[in-house]
Amino acid sequence: MRTRSWGGVALLVLAGIVPLNVALSGQANPEAGKKIYAASCQNCHGATGKGDSEMGAYLSPPPADLTAKPTQAKTDAQLRKVILEGRTGTAMTGYAASFSGAQVDDLLAYIRSLQP
């Protein structure tokens, strides 16, 4: 079991971002992930995850289409590694210092909810 920061959870519950039952169950929350995505990922990966942002047009390689089969076929562990460590030779930087493990779980839950 991973551990959540209880202070952070309490804050999110108070702010109404995370329903109490979700916070207490410790399950990944795609709605919370969506908010993190909108703030930190969308400007490259696009509003719907397809990698079709304005910024993406200037990047080589372009941001991954997170809705596409090649990405969705990867394991959570593989995707988590890219999110935490970034990918060498691309604009994808690592977010290990930015997010807690629980936040990355939420991001992964959101990515899994994306449809092509």
Instruction: Quote the tokens at residue 3.
Output: 């551990």
Q: By CB under 6 A, is residue 102 in contact with ligand HEC?
A: no
Residues 24-83 that bind ligand HEC (CB under 6 A): 40-41, 43-45, 59, 61, 63-64, 70-71, 74, 79, 82-83
How far is it, in rounded angstroms, from Cα 57 to Cα 63?
9
Q: Is 88 left (phi over 0), alpha (psi -120 to 50) or beta?
A: beta
Find residue 86's DSSP bridge partners: 93
Of 5 and 98, which has the nearer Cβ to ligand HEC? 98
Q: By CB under 6 A, is residue 92 in contact with ligand HEC?
A: yes
Angle at the Cα of 93 from the Cα atoms of 90 and 94, rounded to 5 degrees: 135
Query: Which residues would be at the binding site for ligand HEC (CB under 6 A)?
Result: 40-41, 43-45, 59, 61, 63-64, 70-71, 74, 79, 82-83, 87, 90-92, 95, 107
